[in-house]
C-alpha cells in the first residue's frame, strides 16, 4: 500500500515548477491530486505524467483571482470526497521588479489577489474539509524575501509577508 493511498491533496500552481514537482511526488506516494492551475495544456501534461506512474488526478483549470470559483471548488471537493487531507498553496505571482513609486496599481492588486487573498479564500473554503481528515495539513509557499529586502521587489515582498501573517494566524 502506498504511503498516501486514500488521501486527497490539492496543489495550486500545479502546472509547473514547485507545484508540478509536488503534484507528481504526491501522486507517486499514492495521493489523489487535485491539480489547480490556469494553463489547461500544462495540467493535461501533468495528468499524463501522473497516469504514466499509476497515479490519479483531478484537473482544475482555475484562475485564483476568481474567488467565487475557489468557494465552488471547496463545495465540489466536499461533494466528491467529503474531506481534504492536504493543501499546498503554491501558486504565486512575482509582479513587476520596479521601484514601488513606479508600480502600476493593477500590478499591485493582481499580486496581492493571487499571493494573499486567494490563499485566504482557499483557507476559508477548504478548512472545513481539512478538519474532516484524520490528519489534515496545509502548507503555503512563501519566500526568504520576508526576512531581507531587495530594491524593487516591494510588491512581492509585501505579498509574501502578508501571506506569512495570514498563515501564521491560521495556524495559531
| Active site residues per annotation | 156
In three-state form (DSSP H/G/I as H, E/B as E, the rest C), the secondary structure along 127-154 is HHHHHHCCCCEEEECCCHHHCCCCCCCH
d(CA 100, CA 39): 29
Terminal CA-CA length for the chain: 34
Amino acid at each position: 500500500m502506498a504511503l498516501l493511498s486514500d488521501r486527497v491533496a490539492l496543489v495550486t500552481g500545479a502546472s509547473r515548477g514547485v507545484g508540478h514537482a509536488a503534484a507528481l511526488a504526491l501522486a507517486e506516494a499514492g495521493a489523489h491530486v487535485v491539480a489547480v492551475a490556469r494553463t489547461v495544456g500544462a495540467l493535461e501534461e501533468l495528468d499524463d505524467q501522473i497516469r504514466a506512474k499509476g497515479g490519479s488526478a483531478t484537473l482544475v483549470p482555475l484562475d485564483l483571482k476568481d474567488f467565487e470559483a475557489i468557494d465552488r471548488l471547496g463545495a465540489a471537493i466536499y461533494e466528491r470526497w467529503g474531506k481534504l487531507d492536504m493543501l499546498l498553496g503554491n501558486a504565486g505571482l512575482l509582479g513587476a521588479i520596479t521601484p514601488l513609486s513606479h508600480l502600476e496599481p493593477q500590478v499591485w492588486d493582481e499580486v496581492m489577489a493571487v499571493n494573499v487573498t486567494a490563499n485566504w479564500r482557499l483557507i476559508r473554503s477548504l478548512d472545513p474539509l481539512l478538519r474532516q481528515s484524520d490528519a489534515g495539513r496545509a502548507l503555503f509557499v512563501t519566500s526568504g524575501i520576508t526576512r531581507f529586502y531587495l530594491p524593487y521587489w516591494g510588491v512581492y515582498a509585501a505579498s509574501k509577508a502578508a501571506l506569512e501573517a495570514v498563515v501564521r494566524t491560521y495556524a495559531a
